[in-house]
Amino acid sequence: MTSDRSSTDSPSTGESSIRGDRSDTTCENVATVGSAAGSGCSAESGESESFGCPPSITNADAGLSIAGEATPSPAINGQQPSAEATEVSPPRSRFTKAFSFAQTVGFAFAIVALQMGQGILLARLLGPVGRGEYATTVLYVQMALYIGLFGGLEVICRYAADRTVETIKLRRAAMWLGLTTGAITTGLVVLCNVIALPDEKAYLMSLGCLCAFSIIGQHVMLIMTAVDRGAGDFTKYNLRRFISAAAFPALLLVAAIVTDVTLNLACVLFVIASAISMAACVVGLPKIATGKSEPPVNQLLKESRPYGVSMLATDLFERLDLLLVMWLVPLLTQGFYAAMVPVVYPLTVIPNTLGIYLFNTAADRSKRLQTSDVHRILGGSIAIQTVSTIAFMIVIGPLVRLVYGEEFAPAIVFAWWLAPVSAIKGILQGLDSYVKGRGKPLAPIRCRIVAAVVMLSLTAAFVGTYGAIAIAVAALVGQIICLVWLSAIVYADVREQNSMAN
C-alpha cells in the first residue's frame, strides 16, 4: 500500500479576511480565503512554513497520493483558539528547513521505489494475464480514491497549518471524516463493480467488491497524515506514509516466500495493507471513539466542496486511459499496460518538487512572479523532463527484460509511450500547485474536460487499428493539451498580478 496523487495540490490563498464563524462559509469563500502568513500545504513533501505541502507521488495500484489544500478559520463556531492551538512555533534555521525538505524528498523517492517493487512483485507472481485481472479489480478503487475524499484532505491540512484547532481534536475529526468519506466511497465502488464491468471481466466482480473495502483505511490514512503535514511534523508524516507504502509489497513478499500468491490472495493482502495504513495513524490517539473532535464532519465537507470538484476533474482525466484499457483491450494487453504504469513514476518526482516553490510563491501575497520567472521555471522543467525521458526510454527495454522477465517484453512499447505522459504529468502537478495556491482550484477544470474529450475521440478513431497503443498516444495528446492550456492560465495570472501592481 503506498501513499501519494501523486496523485499535487495546495491550499488556497486570497484576502486575509478569515472568518471567525465558518458555519455559513460558502464554496466561494473557501476558494478565496487564505492566510496572509503563507501557512498551508500543497502536496507531498516539504516544510509547511517555508515550502508549503509539496507535491504528491502517485501510487501504482492503490492510487494513493498525498496532496492538500484547504481553508480553515481562526475560530471554530465562535470559539477562541486555545493557547495550545495558537502557540507560535519558534523560527526554524535554514539548515533545519533544508534538512526537513531533503528528508521528505528522500522519502518520496523511497516510496516510488516501493511502488516499483510492488509492481515487479505483482507482475512476477501473477503473470501478464493475472496482472491484468488484478488491474481490473483495483481500477475503480484507483479512480474513486481521491474523488471520494471530496477535498477533505486539503481542508484538514490547512486547519493543521493554521493551528486553529488543538491537534488531538483535529486528528479525531480527520479520522471521523476519513471513515465517513471512506464508507460512502466504498459503497460507490461496490456499485461500479456490480454494474460497470465488461462482460468478459464480470467474473472479477466479487474481488473488485472486496478491494473496495480498502478505501476506508486509505481515506483515514490520507486525511490523518494531512494533520502531520499541515502542522509541519514531517518526521511523523514521512514515517506514516512510508509504513503505508511498504505494507502491501511487504505482505506480498512474505506471502511469496511461504506460499503461492494467487489473485485472490493478492486482493486480500491489499485490503489488509489498507488496515495497517489506518492503524499506523490511529495508534496513540487517546479516546478514539469517545473524545471530542473538532471541526464537525459536516462543516469540513461543506468547506471542501471546491477542491472536491477540482479533484473530480483531475483524477477522472488522469485515470481515463486505465478505464479505457479495461473496457477496450483483452486481459493480457491490460496486464502489459498496467505493469508499465509504476515503471514510469520516477519521471514525476523531480517536477513534483517544483510545486513546493510555486505554491508558496502563489500563496504569499507579498511576492509576485514575473513573466521571465515563468519562462525560466517552465523552460527548465521541460528541458529536465525531456532529457530524463530520453534517457529513460534508452534504458527501459533492457531493464524490463531483466527485472520483469522476457514474458513482459511486449510491454516495453507501452513504457515508451507512457514515459512522456508521466513526464508531462509531473509538470502539470507543479503548475496545479501554483493555480491552487492562488485560490483558483476550479481554473484547470475546463482544460481537463477538453483533453478528456480529445482522448476519447482519438481512442474511438484508432483503437480498432492500433489497440492499446492508441490509448497511450491519446493520453499523451491529452497531457500536451493540458500543459499548453495550464501554462497559459499561469501566464495570464502572472500578467494580471503585475498589471494590478503597476
Per-residue pLDDT tens for 270-311?
999 999 999 999 888 888 888 888 888 888 888 888 778 878
Burial (CB count <10 Å: 0-12, 13-18, 19+), residue 383: exposed
Buried b or exposed e, range 202-233, using 16+ CB within 10 angstroms: eebbebbbbbbbbbbbbbbbbbbbbbbbbbbb
Burial (CB count <10 Å: 0-12, 13-18, 19+), residue 91: exposed
Q: Which pLDDT score is estimated for 357?
A: 59
Instruction: Give the number of C-alpha atoms closer than 13 A to the C-alpha of residue 294, restricted to the C-beta side.
Output: 21
Name the band, by pLDDT with cuts 50, 70 and 90, for residue 361.
Answer: low
Q: Which pLDDT score is estimated for 485?
A: 95
**Lowest-pLDDT range of 48-57, 108-117, 147-156:** 48-57
Buried b or exposed e, range 331-349, using 16+ CB within 10 angstroms: bebbbbbbbbbbbbbbbbb
Say how many C-beta atoms besides its own lie within 10 A of residue 397's C-beta. 14
Fill in the amino acid letter for 312: L
Q: Which pLDDT score is estimated for 205?
A: 97
Q: Highest mean pLDDT range out of 85-89, 181-185, 360-364?
A: 181-185
H-only helix segments in 13-93: 27-32, 83-86
Is the separation of the CB atoms in 18 and 265 below 8 Å? no
- Average pLDDT value for residue range 414-436: 89
Q: Work out the end-to-end distance of the chain between its first and last CA atoms, rounded to an integer number of angstroms.
A: 50
Give the pLDDT confidence of 401-421 residue by residue, as tens digits. 999 989 999 999 999 999 999
Q: Highest mean pLDDT range out of 173-182, 223-232, 365-374?
A: 173-182
H-only helix segments in 329-467: 331-340, 346-363, 371-403, 412-437, 445-466
Cell numbers describing residue 76: 471554530
Average per-residue pLDDT for the chain = 79
Give the pLDDT confidence of 165-212 residue by residue, as tens digits. 888 999 999 999 999 999 999 999 999 999 999 999 999 999 999 999
Nearest to residue 333, comparing CAs of 132, 187, 88, 115?
Answer: 132
Q: Which pLDDT score is estimated for 115?
A: 86
Q: Which pLDDT score is estimated for 484?
A: 95
Q: Which pLDDT score is estimated for 110?
A: 85
Cell numbers describing residue 402: 531483466
Name the band, by pLDDT with cuts 50, 70 and 90, for residue 442.
Answer: confident
pLDDT at position 45 over 80: no
pLDDT at position 60 over 70: no
pLDDT at position 220 over 90: yes
Name the band, by pLDDT with cuts 50, 70 and 90, for residue 48.
Answer: very low
pLDDT at position 162 over 60: yes
**Lowest-pLDDT range of 53-62, 105-114, 204-213, 225-234:** 53-62
Name the band, by pLDDT with cuts 50, 70 and 90, for residue 467.
Answer: very high
- Average pLDDT value for residue range 438-466: 90
Give the pLDDT confidence of 287-298 residue by residue, as tens digits. 888 888 888 888
- Average pLDDT value for residue range 16-44: 35
Nearest to residue 302, comparing CAs of 104, 4, 29?
Answer: 29
- Average pLDDT value for residue range 126-146: 94
- Rounded distance, CA 233 to CA 100, Å? 9
Name the band, by pLDDT with cuts 50, 70 and 90, for residue 91.
Answer: low
Name the band, by pLDDT with cuts 50, 70 and 90, for residue 456.
Answer: very high
